[in-house]
Chains A and B, each alone.
Chain A
């Protein structure tokens, strides 16, 4: 689960990770009020959306006065911000973070994430702050410091020193940095984060370190034990169909193609998307109804896909293991009866109780196209889209 920068900074404050003074504003008036209360200029006006690259896209600006804060806030609030992470359609800016400007001595990079290969938490740091870290890793990998923390032991003093010296921090900044990193690690573990990134982390002219930006991502598997994080969820940043699907525990991702698809199992669902592409069409979504889906979930899955205007045909591909084909077929029939199907639907079913499943579909008298196997399904979906 992603959250906004201002929310991440609220969490940082709770864990004594230093951040600039500032607050979120939902209107130009609020932005002005906050800038006034900060008491000095410049202030930074920052668009709050769930995507990186905001500065380059024109969503982060410095204001030297109250008047300029007002001008910039009214420009940015309500703009559609396009960055390399938003796609060409961009994101509507509905919130701003108004922050006190800082006297920056150096810009650094610091992040914590779970390293899959070593099953540990890795601290990544670089002197090249404020830049795209992927580019730094590619062009100058020697400028990235990696320290692996044993999760059973937690972060150790020598590891913090290794990062600090690697960043070339002056002795006077050591204490400030040690506090920041050990508190950041505590936050990371306490909230089951999958990533915490500060880019840039700044060294100020009086040798303090401060998180100028904050990005936190949480492990969705662990949200059940962090109910307090749910208040951070921002439905405005999510696709409406994805929000609807999440209500029924459906793994759904809206894409920009024309062939809707419903599959059980994530691997088979990805492979089915690839098959659609190979057949000369493009997938309109990823939809995994899961191993043990109920008829009701299947019904909602089909309803959500049919509600998507760009969908010109649907491919249903089920390999019944835990999910029985008869349960699945009943869901399809229920959805068809309630919402009606007026585009071609190709069904390919195999596995547990497949005969009962096929019988349910046949008896319902629906206008479905049945496919014998995957190659057959691919041909039929290609033909359906071509018509």
Chain B
């Protein structure tokens, strides 16, 4: 098993004819993902290699039975693209786009509450179940099939963790980034509960960062609900308060959202804390 995506996932790519869209659609196909459709308004009827392009997500779903969507559109169109996918009955929406206005996402999140779908992101690297399905922009070849679940708020930081795991012989069940924005879809707890329920996942690496309180809430959830071991890492202990550290969500506001508070919450709740990123693979080897 794995979580959220597997070899049966049928992917539609929104923004497929753009630079990034076409590049990453091809990368996903090369990895083995079943890409059945693309959408670019006004380019319906064209093809990207063998993938048919539609004007709307609804048409793409109707014609191809797509059940997941990868969004690679510019930020002003991000919120609209997510809502279009949700309205068309897409079950899993993965939004890579960075820079969507926060108030757009606030509306989207409330809209999605009325739909039966899951959003991953935005501002995330996507999700991968190694050897089965890659929906995102992560480099596929650093992954290896195995039993560790990886969840993170970051992109390249996740690649770093996965790379260390793979090099030490520890494969992954599913790896996903939930995104660096303050308002996002799937949160840590959603992923943790899915990993806990997944037979293939035996242990979890959780990578957080400064800003907000998602890590603290996840830590309390882990303590109460999880039996599988968790290794945790927090980025941004040296970040100054009041400054947005690249990610819109990575900001210490007043005294809330500090790395120290998150690490303390991890320790209090039985999470194995990694304090030095260079050692995270080794720590996982020891703990798992």
Chain A: residues with CB nearer than 8 A to chain B? 85, 114, 116-117, 119-121, 134, 138, 150-152, 189, 192, 194, 219-222, 224-225, 251, 253, 255, 263-271, 273-278, 282-283, 286, 288, 291-292, 319-322, 350-352, 373-375, 377-378
Expressed in whole angstroms, the minimum distance between the Cβ of A327 and any Cβ of chain B is: 13
Chain B neighbourhood of A270, CB < 8 A:
157, 209-210, 235-236, 238-239, 245-246, 250
A221-B101, A291-B98, A319-B160 known; A116 vs B249 contact (CB < 8 Å): yes
Chain A neighbourhood of B270, CB < 8 A:
none
A265-B154, A266-B180, A292-B20 known; A194 vs B102 contact (CB < 8 Å): yes
Q: Let me know if B237 and A374 touch, CB within 8 A.
A: no
| B 254-281 binary contact with A (CB < 8 Å = 1; else 0) | 1100000000000000000001111100
Chain B neighbourhood of A286, CB < 8 A:
239, 243, 245-246
Q: Let me know if A192 and B156 touch, CB within 8 A.
A: no
Chain A neighbourhood of B169, CB < 8 A:
none
Q: Let me know if B137 and A321 touch, CB within 8 A.
A: yes
A116-B212, A374-B278 known; A267 vs B240 contact (CB < 8 Å): no
CB contact between B279 and one of A117, A138, A375 (< 8 Å): that residue: A375
Chain A neighbourhood of B278, CB < 8 A:
275, 373-375, 377-378
User: How far is B102's CA from A189's CA once the two chains are assembled, in angstroms?
Assistant: 11
The majority secondary structure among interface residues of chain B is: loop
Q: Let me know if A265 and B106 touch, CB within 8 A.
A: no
> Which single residue of chain B is at the shortest CB-CB distance from A133?
B254
Q: Let me know if A319 and B163 touch, CB within 8 A.
A: yes
Expressed in whole angstroms, the minimum distance between the Cβ of B61 and any Cβ of chain A is: 25
A-B contact count (CB 8 A): 176
Chain B neighbourhood of A219, CB < 8 A:
101-103, 248
User: How far is B29's CA from A368's CA once the two chains are assembled, in angstroms?
Assistant: 37
Expressed in whole angstroms, the minimum distance between the Cβ of A328 and any Cβ of chain B is: 12
Expressed in whole angstroms, the minimum distance between the Cβ of B139 and any Cβ of chain A is: 5
Q: Let me know if A321 and B138 touch, CB within 8 A.
A: yes
The majority secondary structure among interface residues of chain A is: mixed
User: How far is B163's CA from A267's CA once the two chains are assembled, in angstroms?
Assistant: 15
CB contact between A152 and one of B110, B142, B154, B246 (< 8 Å): that residue: B110
User: How far is B36's CA from A273's CA once the two chains are assembled, in angstroms?
Assistant: 42
Q: Let me know if A278 and B247 touch, CB within 8 A.
A: no
Q: Let me know if B106 and A120 touch, CB within 8 A.
A: yes
Chain B neighbourhood of A221, CB < 8 A:
75, 99-102, 248
> Which single residue of chain A is at the shortest CB-CB distance from B110?
A152
Q: Let me know if B139 and A352 touch, CB within 8 A.
A: yes
User: How far is B272's CA from A49's CA once the two chains are assembled, in angstroms?
Assistant: 44
26 A-B pairs in the complex with CB atoms less than 8 angstroms apart: A117-B213, A119-B110, A119-B183, A134-B255, A138-B255, A151-B107, A152-B107, A220-B244, A253-B240, A255-B240, A265-B156, A267-B154, A268-B155, A268-B156, A270-B210, A270-B236, A270-B250, A271-B160, A274-B236, A274-B277, A278-B275, A291-B155, A321-B137, A321-B139, A321-B156, A322-B137
